[in-house]
Structure 1
């Protein structure tokens, strides 16, 4: 199989969102697809990314990642209630449900990255930018000049929801699609 000059990403780690919010955001994805032809990322389950896509070296496995998270992150009881406050965008490239950032999100991200790096050194690196949790609706293939209108339509939904951050999910690329491979229950949301 011929590879391009980039390393194929095999895994990422995130938090799956509850079914009611997932259904709402799937409707938003459908709108972006029908109105603007956006398809990028729409096969991926609705989630908040903790560790962006990376290539897991051949000597490591998804089980290694799961064991590290079970041992180093889950015992800390880092679950909490998060809040979505309508929609926002990263410039013209990504439209998302605006998950309100905060210290709990940053700590969960930092602890998860640390566990991954301890289990599989060198497979990823910590993003130095402030952590902005978000639930992606559309990205990469949004036509130029439509973001303002698309955001206006999304914000008319007035999506304001609390949800439990009660899982850490390891996603694997399978057959060109991202699938939830392992979901670990995150304590502390009560």
Structure 2
């Protein structure tokens, strides 16, 4: 039975709309050619805080904490450069590990843990690997290797400024943007 008092959320950085369009077209290619549709269930993004359940009554508190957090965080550069993989199941657009990106992820997860007790144990036990997934979960090993042959040397490069922290919620079938928080600066 589904708990109706809790909702599933995650926090991410999203690229500008025109880059989301390009990455979504790549996801659609994965769905059509490699029968991997799972990545289409969320907008293109870089996850900062992995999915977590929260009591619906606590949503205003989460929003307040995120609004407080972004006041001290500046807009930041983000660079997408080529494709990479978590073999043998995930292919993604590579996101460069800039100091700004590593810092905001650490600060955000520490802030959520200390103020709301939100912790993703698995994510906490491994290093942060920023990426923008285009094929995963339902990508079979056979299709992974075929797709990797197609994408491993393919060029993709974008530099842009991220100006929002985005709270996404799961509606039961896919992830959607719930609210954006403007970064200072």
Aligned match for 1:105, one of 101, 116, 130:
101
Equivalent position of 1:161 in the other structure: 158
* Preserved CA contact (<8 Å) 1:65 1:119: no
Equivalent position of 1:170 in the other structure: 167
Alpha carbon RMSD of aligned pairs, Å?
2.2
Cα deviation, residue 148, structure 1: 3.5
1:86-127 residue CA offsets vs partner (Å, 9 max, x unmatched): 111111121111001132112111121123224422454562
Equivalent position of 1:12 in the other structure: 10
1:55-92 residue CA offsets vs partner (Å, 9 max, x unmatched): 1135411x322211221x21223321111111111111
Equivalent position of 2:143 in the other structure: 146
Cα deviation, residue 142, structure 1: 0.6
Aligned length: 182
Whole-angstrom CA distance in 2 between matches of 1:157 and 1:27 = 14
Aligned match for 2:45, one of 44, 47, 57:
47
Q: Which moved more, 1:40-49 or 1:111-120?
A: 111-120
Which runs of 5 or more structure 2 residues have no equivalent in the other structure?
A: none
Q: Between Structure 1 and Structure 2, which shows a larger proportion of helix residues? A: 2
Aligned match for 2:130, one of 109, 130, 133:
133
Indicate whether 1:30 and 2:49 are aligned.
Answer: no
Which runs of 5 or more structure 1 residues have no equivalent in the other structure?
A: none
SS of 2:110's equivalent? helix
Cα deviation, residue 45, structure 1: 1.1
Whole-angstrom CA distance in 1 between matches of 2:10 and 2:106 = 14
